[in-house]
Structure 1
Amino acid sequence: MGLVANGKDSADEKAKTRLQAADTLRAIADQYLRNAKQRLKPRTYSEIERYLLVSWKPLHPVSVFLVSRRHISARIAQIASAHGAVSADRARTALSSMFNWAIREGLDIAGNPVLGTNRPVQPGSRERVLTKTELSAVHVDNSA
């Protein structure tokens, strides 16, 4: 009754809440992947699919309207711990791309919750010099 007194329709609010609850991370990921499959190369698609369906699985039942930076930061830390910083960073990028797509598709999400989360620290590039044996193995004979 308080909502009606303030000029809000409680039936509209309930319908909106039901729709938002149906827009789980898994449901939106499935929609995004259907779209991505048409425009991405197969290898790129399979990597993004793996990150969204496997790495982010613990958040699948959560409504995209309720996913917070804290959820994402905690999961990125777990991924980094289990699979390394590179995997965590790529999982973060895949999720961010999905949220950006969802917002462009008209989902009324306040903003991309991935923005503002820290990127995992990337390992430095490796410095290695080939041994003489390795160099001789790759040496091309130009005399022929």
Structure 2
Amino acid sequence: MGLTSQLDNDPKTYGEAMSDIDSDKWLEAMKFKMDSMGSNQVWTLVDPPKGARPVGCKWVYKRKLGADGEVTAFKARLVAKGYTQRPGVDFEETYSPVAMAKSIRILLAIAAWYDHEIWQMNVKTAFLNGFVEEEIFMDQPEGFTAVGEE
């Protein structure tokens, strides 16, 4: 019996992605994400008010592999550096609606019992459609800084 391990060779930074052999694929993935955010009107480019502390952001990269181990897709996600925010100063509460594993198992068991079909869907821009009441200021993403708006 043998064990194999795949090293995590996905870029950790924008610079690594741009110097990677697949830099064109990473750039395409980032452009897709930026286009999605633009079409969903995720943000408006503004100068932050005096005293505001913009949240930083960074790109997270992932090669998606098929069952045969071959790369099927290049994914780039833009994430806020929330760890730089201070509780009670930069935010009051956090919430992420996630189903408990136990609830999913119960749903699947009931569906199996009644011989119902279960369908799974993926909404690529689901997290871009939420509403935020507060104004949040974020730095522009690396590689996509508007000229003259640095």
Q: TM-score range by the shorter chain?
A: under 0.3
TM-score (norm 2): 0.23
Larger RCO (CA under 8 A, 6+ residues apart): 2
TM-score (norm 1): 0.24
Structure number having the greater strand percentage? 2
Structure number having the greater helix percentage? 1
- Asked which structure has the greater CA Rg, the reply is 1
